[in-house]
Amino acid sequence: MTRTQIHIPTLVRIKAGAVDRVGIYARRNGFSHVVVLHSDGLPQELLERLNEGLKAEDVAIMHSWPVKEASFEQARELFPGIPARTRAVVGFGGGKALDVAKYTAFLTGLPCISVPTSLSNDGISSPQSSLTLEGRRKSLPSAMPFGIVIDTKVCLAAPEVLWLSGIGDLVSKLTAVFDWKLAFHAADTPIDDFAALLSDATVFQFIARPNHDLQGVQVLGTALMLNGVAMGVCGSSRPASGSEHLISHALDALGGTPRLHGLQVGVATYLVSLLQKQSSETIAALFEKTGFWRAVESNPFRRADWIEALCRAPSIKEGFYTVLSSRDCLPEAEDYLRNDPFLRNCLVE
């Protein structure tokens, strides 16, 4: 039997004050020269903490570049400037910076250390980067980070809506895994039981304690990291992405006002759970307890956009079987969008 090599993070630190120790972690692993790709507009105080920690351990910062957009073009522009002596790429900040750092590391064949300053989605550790290519969003293969460093105190201080976005992306694993199992039975799509179990387990771990405090951030950060690992285990986005992500991709393609990925996916997850007839009460209760519904209701989506996205979603990925492939879900989904007590408050005409 041929065994496939599984790439998972070697370095994992999820604790308060971890940003200040990135230099220690880099030195221990022989990363004497690094390039830092950080979010454009990142608070100077955070950037100085990272830089001082690296310098204190004699880790040379070859370049420190701001990432202004999560695009293939941005990564391609940065790639030629990576000096030959570079031993690792450090991504620091939000999802855009981390996605570009992962993809740049992939292009150069260098290890990547992912240092998020918020927990808005599972991109902190996934072996893919969500980048635009000529204006259209694509999921491109990238480096599974060598290291994941989550400073729980820094992430707790981020705007609460980013935490809620992370919750929305996390619960999507419930519908994604269900879709994966549907695809296995209906279309012979291979399924990796361990990856599916790992992805499911992370959600219930968080549901047991969904508090917005240091421990809650630690649990959410761990869960989102393990979602990325689940994708690395099976070499597919299946344990983390199903019909709810197809709907979100279709909404992105409509070109409306950009929304936080996790808020968009979270609402789509609840809708899809109704179509799948599973986990709806669990998801709704979690969203109510954490304030997710209130956050979406404060800036609702356009119902017409969601109906159009539902029409487009089944054709977003060829050969990607989900509940949307199993039947014509549009009439049922439209009814939920208009009449479900939670969804109708998230949408306006």
pLDDT at 3: 47
pLDDT at 287: 98
CA distance 48 to 169: 30
Other CB atoms closer than 10 Å to residue 14's CB: what's the count?
18
CATH number of the 11-157 domain? 3.40.50.1970
pTM reported for the whole predicted model = 0.94
pLDDT at 130: 86
- Three-state DSSP string of 168-234: HHHHHHHHHHHHHHHHHHHHCCCCCHHHHHHHHHHHHHHHCCCCCCHHHHHHHHHHHHHHHHHHHHH
pLDDT at 225: 95
CATH number of the 160-348 domain? 1.20.1090.10
For the sheet with 88-93, list strands across it: 11-15, 147-151, 112-116, 88-93, 33-39, 60-67
Does 160-348 match 11-157 at the fold level? no
pLDDT at 2: 44
pLDDT at 4: 58
pLDDT 10s per residue in the chain (349 long)? 344 567 789 999 999 999 999 999 999 999 999 999 999 999 999 999 999 999 999 999 999 999 999 889 988 889 899 999 999 999 999 999 999 999 999 999 999 999 999 999 998 998 889 888 887 778 888 989 999 999 999 999 999 999 999 999 999 999 999 999 999 999 999 999 999 999 999 899 999 999 999 999 999 999 999 999 999 999 899 999 999 999 999 999 898 788 999 999 999 999 999 999 999 999 999 999 999 999 999 999 999 999 999 999 999 999 999 999 999 999 999 999 999 999 999 999 8
Domain locations in the chain as residue ranges: 11-157, 160-348
pLDDT at 5: 66
